[in-house]
A and B are shown apart, each in its own frame.
Chain A
Amino acid sequence: MKYKKGDSLENWSFTVIQENMNLWADILDDPNPIHLDVNSVKLLGLGEKTINQGHANIAYIINAINYNFPDSEIIRLNNKMTDSIVEGDKITVSGTIENIVKENTKLIITCQLQLNVGQEKVSVVSEADILIKV
């Protein structure tokens, strides 16, 4: 079998830019100024940079799964947001295979993933069930 319990996933990285936050505000029809206006973020005491949409952060997790399992389908994805991602952050998604169940012609792989900025800051913790037809 190509995949083994305990295997690490290949890291996936991306840099967050304001242009994409503006686009996601439109995509989500979300007027929250913390994504668009740095002065609002400062006024709220939430830092010095605009804050990325949580939905985009989860999209990075999905892209990391797709990168590691290109011919798969995600069937469950639970996400807990633990810290914010801000404009200019270089994020990295890492993960491990926690379990593999074989059912006839398919594998269901459970992965634990996390989205980090640098070594210390964990911004999203996720668990995914991924279906692979074999």
Chain B
Amino acid sequence: MTDTTNINDRWKYLTSNSKNLSLEDFVDLDFPGGNFYIDKKANFLVNTSTGKKLDKNNLKNIILAHPIYFMIITLRGSGASIQDIFDLLNYDTKNGPMLGQCNISINCQLKVDYKYIVKGKINSLIEKNSQKLGKIKILDFSLSLYDHLSLKIGDVNYVWILPLGKKNEI
């Protein structure tokens, strides 16, 4: 069983001290974890806002959620918001963080009106020089989705590019 109190304490400690820590201190850090419920109406908006037409009058007959929910759920249900992740790294979002890569593996399709559990960890945090962006940090983390019976539904691996400005001295 995951010790969420310890994980939350570790996030608090790292967030408060990130300026003084090395990049390796963030590696293998578990996400606090949590859950996310796929709302039928939100699923409708996700579909229509990306150009997939759904019949609004047929909402109650829609069973499956848009597969992009693998990304939405893993980020929203990880127990740490995108802002929390940047706070953890003492990173200023004004420098324009970017999603660099996202790999999704799917064991089972997602359902609307259904709650999923999210767990994951940070795989690596490295610093590099980019010709286009200057000094950057690259954050690699993975999140997995489970149903209420602990059956794994899928995995998402993210690589985020974090351009560093003067405000980001992590």
Contacts and interface: CB of A to CB of B under 8 A. Distances in A.
A62 B66 contact: yes
B85 to A, nearest CB: 11
Nearest to B157: A78
A74 B67 contact: yes
Interface stretch (A2-10, A31-39, A95-103, A106-114): A31-39
A9 B92 CA distance: 41
B94 A40 contact: yes
Interface in A24-73: 24, 27-34, 40-41, 43-44, 46, 51, 53-56, 58-60, 62-63, 66, 73
Nearest to B76: A29
Interface residues of B, number: 34
Q: How large is the interface on A (under 10, 10 to 19, 20 to 34, 35 or more residues)?
A: 35 or more
Question: Which secondary structure dominates where chain B touches chain A?
Answer: mixed
A14 B51 contact: yes
Nearest to B49: A20
A120 to B, nearest CB: 17
B134 to A, nearest CB: 10
Nearest to A62: B67
A132 to B, nearest CB: 14
A117 interface: no
Nearest to A57: B99
5 contacts: A29-B83, A31-B93, A55-B68, A58-B102, A76-B106
Interchain residue pairs A-B with the least CB separation, the first 7? A54-B99, A14-B51, A59-B50, A59-B68, A20-B49, A78-B103, A77-B104
